């Protein structure tokens, strides 16, 4: 099967996840300059489960506000449109992809733990480097590997081959895919993000998070997610906290030199944030 055939097949899968209506609506509203806090709050308030989640999120230690936020309008005023939109997107995506059965041995919880870790680390790097929106980087980090879930749910046979090669040949998931699958999880994720009409920066940071391309809509966002993914992956596989940054793109290394050099000083704090984000996002209702 070549790449084109593969993507055509992906297109024809009837139960490929679609975005929940609330995400589509909120995304659309934020592209419209006339959207008011009142209108946005009204749309979110139609989904009570979402309201509960958002209020819990904004009141959690993750954002660290002193006063208690008790309604959506207040949350929008304090956090801003973009942060609220990203919170809605994050909560919805995790929910959409967590229910279905995946390949045996591929733990969806572990998958999300990795994704949340990359999201929180991307957010931190964006805050430090002041190069792009921390919230956009959070969502990019959360979504970067989503293609793996699609592969595991809809292309079980191919996923099985890759999984076996990871376990038996000691390859990374991406390396095994290069050998065995016509398109990799990054391309599948990017394809899905495009289908969902996400911003170009998010499509690109998903598509190129392993093979950095310089001609993307927001290079800084891509380099941040790429770096965070390498940091988290190597941290998760090295218990001594001596991460290996050799796979990081040279341009990203230049951009993040300060953060790479001081990794062992700041990462433990970020790891605490990752734990609290996992507790929030991955807690079953
Ligand atoms: Fe990946
Ligand atoms: Fe990853």
* 171-200 tens-digit pLDDT: 999 999 999 999 999 999 999 898 888 889
Residue 234 pLDDT class (50, 70, 90 cuts): confident
Q: Which ligand is nearest to the CA of 235?
A: 2
Mean pLDDT of 1-25: 81
Question: Mean of the per-residue pLDDT values for the chain?
Answer: 88
Mean pLDDT of 124-147: 93
C-alpha–C-alpha distance, residues 90 and 277, integer Å: 11
Residue 125 pLDDT class (50, 70, 90 cuts): very high
Ligand 2 (single-atom ion) residues, CB below 5 Å: 145, 229
C-alpha–C-alpha distance, residues 234 and 27, integer Å: 34
Ligand 1 (single-atom ion) residues, CB below 5 Å: 145
Buried b (16+ CB within 10 A) or exposed e, 206-244: bbbbbebeeebebbbbbbbbbbbbbbbbbbeeeeeeebe
Mean pLDDT of 8-23: 80
Q: Which ligand is nearest to the CA of 176?
A: 1
**pTM metric for this prediction:** 0.90
Query: What is the pLDDT at residue 237?
Result: 67
Higher local confidence (pLDDT), 36 or 1? 36
Q: Residue 74 C-alpha to ligand 1 middle, in angstroms?
A: 36
Query: What is the pLDDT at residue 240?
Result: 62
Is pLDDT above 90 for 105?
no
Query: What is the pLDDT at residue 242?
Result: 65
Q: Which ligand is nearest to the CA of 205?
A: 1
Q: Residue 68 C-alpha to ligand 2 middle, in angstroms?
A: 34
Q: Residue 27 C-alpha to ligand 2 middle, in angstroms?
A: 25
Name which of 170, 138, 2 is nearest 63 in CA terms.
Answer: 138
Q: Which ligand is nearest to the CA of 115?
A: 2
Q: Residue 145 C-alpha to ligand 2 middle, in angstroms?
A: 5
Q: Which ligand is nearest to the CA of 189?
A: 1
For 14, the 3-state DSSP assignment is coil
Residue 15 pLDDT class (50, 70, 90 cuts): confident
Q: Residue 116 C-alpha to ligand 1 middle, in angstroms?
A: 13
C-alpha–C-alpha distance, residues 172 and 285, integer Å: 33
Kindly give, in sequence order, each residue whose CB lies less than 8 Å from that of residue 93, ignoring residues fewer than 6 positions away.
Answer: 23, 142, 143, 146
DSSP state of 246: T
Q: Residue 229 C-alpha to ligand 2 middle, in angstroms?
A: 5
Residue 285 pLDDT class (50, 70, 90 cuts): low
C-alpha–C-alpha distance, residues 20 and 10, integer Å: 19
Q: Which ligand is nearest to the CA of 231?
A: 2
Burial classification of residue 25, based on how many CB atoms lie within 10 Å of its CB (0-12 exposed, 13-18 middle, 19 or more buried) = middle
User: Mind listing the pLDDT tens digit for each residue in 248-271?
Assistant: 999 999 999 999 999 989 999 999
Higher local confidence (pLDDT), 63 or 42? 42
Which range, of 22-26, 55-59, 95-99, 281-285, averages the lowest pLDDT? 281-285
Residue 239 pLDDT class (50, 70, 90 cuts): low
Which range, of 101-105, 209-213, 262-266, averages the lowest pLDDT? 101-105
Query: What is the pLDDT at residue 29?
Result: 85
Q: Residue 42 C-alpha to ligand 2 middle, in angstroms?
A: 35
Dihedral of alpha carbons 150, 151, 155, 160, sign: negative
How many Cβ atoms are within 10 Å of 90's Cβ, its own excluded?
A: 25
Q: Which ligand is nearest to the CA of 148?
A: 1
Query: What is the pLDDT at residue 72?
Result: 93
C-alpha–C-alpha distance, residues 223 and 212, integer Å: 7
């Amino acid at each position: 099967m070549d790449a084109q055939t593969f993507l055509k097949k992906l297109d024809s899968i009837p139960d490929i996840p679609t975005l929940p209506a609330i995400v589509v609506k909120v995304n659309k509203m934020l592209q419209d300059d006339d959207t008011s806090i009142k209108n946005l709050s009204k749309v979110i308030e139609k989904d009570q489960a979402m309201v509960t989640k958002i209020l819990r999120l904004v009141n959690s230690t993750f954002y660290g506000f002193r006063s208690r936020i008790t309604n959506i309008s207040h949350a929008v005023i304090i956090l801003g449109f973009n942060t609220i939109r990203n919170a809605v997107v994050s909560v919805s995506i995790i929910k959409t992809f967590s229910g279905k059965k995946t390949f045996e041995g591929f733990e969806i919880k572990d998958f999300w733990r990795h994704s949340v870790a990359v999201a929180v680390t991307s957010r931190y790097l964006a805050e430090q480097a002041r190069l792009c929106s921390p919230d956009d980087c959070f969502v990019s980090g959360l979504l970067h590997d989503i293609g793996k879930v699609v592969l595991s749910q809809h292309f079980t046979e191919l996923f099985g081959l890759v999984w076996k090669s990871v376990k038996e040949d000691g390859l990374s998931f991406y390396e095994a895919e290069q050998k065995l699958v016509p398109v990799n999880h990054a391309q599948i994720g990017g394809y899905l993000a495009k289908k969902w009409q996400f911003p170009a920066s998010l499509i690109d940071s998903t598509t190129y998070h392993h093979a950095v391309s310089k001609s993307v809509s927001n290079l800084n966002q891509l380099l941040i997610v790429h770096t965070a993914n390498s940091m988290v992956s190597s941290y998760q596989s090295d218990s001594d906290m001596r991460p290996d940054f050799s796979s990081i793109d040279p341009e990203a290394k230049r951009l993040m030199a300060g953060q790479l050099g001081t990794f062992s000083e700041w990462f433990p704090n970020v790891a605490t944030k990752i734990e609290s984000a996992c507790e929030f996002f991955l807690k079953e209702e």
